Copies of this chain bind each other. A is one copy, B any other.
Amino acid sequence: MKVVNSIKELRSHINTWKRRGHEIGLVPTMGYLHEGHKSLINAASDDNSKVVVSIFVNPIQFGANEDLDSYPRDIERDSKICEAAGADLIFNPSPEEMYGENFSTYIDVEGLTEELCGAKRPGHFRGVCTVVSKLFNIVNPTRAYFGEKDAQQLAVIKRMVADLNFDIEIIGCPIVREEDGLAKSSRNTYLSEEERKASLVLNRSLLKAKSALKEGIKDSDKLVQIISQELNKEPLAKIDYIEIVDSTSLKPVKNIDRPVLVAIAIYIGKTRLIDNFIFQ
């Protein structure tokens, strides 16, 4: 598996591919790849003749007290996963390569970033939008792939692409889960055995909410109550947020009369986990 660290070298590969008429799929990741990422690479490989996976733990999307330093990294393991999933090249730049001296340009998507994770992690989406724009300009992809697990990120990226006229198709891919229902995440690796069991409460509470919606519950306060009751049964879980929002605007919805995103974030010990579903 070809691993490229420099922007200049990456551009030379991209330009050769473009000249030969290839369509390029980009899968932006922070590495420590799991089945969720693999499904993105598979989708990119189905749709495009060349696939670039970027692996970059982006410092500017982490808050001061977050897990930048401890975020898991394993480029050799990631290489094998990329190769098996059909990637053509890994772009793995250093922070210095991405953020040179005097770096000072940032991108904000207003409105969409004020709720959910944006409210809990100030500056997070500014960091995401900035690095994703950089990757778009470096890779110049035909299509880019993002997981629906990071539902707010996907909505924010779609808004940014439309607003700034990036000529790139953004494709969201479904959440991939462990057999027992926990959504795949690189951060699951932080969990002790006991915490790993406790984390199942996340999906369980969402399934309860989905049943309630199917039974015709329209009041989002009632739905939040159902979810929080379930989460509170688990002593190791601490609720960060439970939100019912419009699936496009991400604005809070009181009466569920349109497609909604039901999104939750909890702490299990020190590990923050998110999960969600969209109800049409």
Complex contacts, A159 vs chain B, CB 8 Å: 102, 104-105
Copies in the complex: 2
A91 to chain B, nearest CB (A): 12
A164 touches B109 (CB 8 A): no
Q: Assess whether A106 is interfacial by the CB under 8 Å rule.
A: yes
Known: A134-B164, A137-B166, A167-B11. A104 touches B110 (CB 8 A): yes
- Cα distance A108–B103 in the bound complex, in angstroms: 12
Of residues 189 through 238 on chain A, the ones whose CB sits less than 8 Å from some CB of chain B are: none
Interface string of A108-135 (1 = CB under 8 A from B): 1111100000000000000001100110
- Interface residues in A, total, Cβ within 8 A: 30
Complex contacts, A138 vs chain B, CB 8 Å: 165
Q: Assess whether A163 is interfacial by the CB under 8 Å rule.
A: yes
- A106's partner among B104, B108, B162 (CB-CB below 8 A) is B108
A234 to chain B, nearest CB (A): 36
Q: Assess whether A249 is interfacial by the CB under 8 Å rule.
A: yes
Instruction: Look across to chain B and name the residue whose beta carbon is closest to the beta carbon of A111.
Output: B104
- Cα distance A105–B102 in the bound complex, in angstroms: 23
Instruction: Look across to chain B and name the residue whose beta carbon is closest to the beta carbon of A166.
Output: B137
Instruction: Look across to chain B and name the residue whose beta carbon is closest to the beta carbon of A134.
Output: B165
A193 to chain B, nearest CB (A): 43
A96 to chain B, nearest CB (A): 14
- Cα distance A159–B106 in the bound complex, in angstroms: 11
Known: A137-B164, A137-B165, A165-B7. A108 touches B105 (CB 8 A): yes
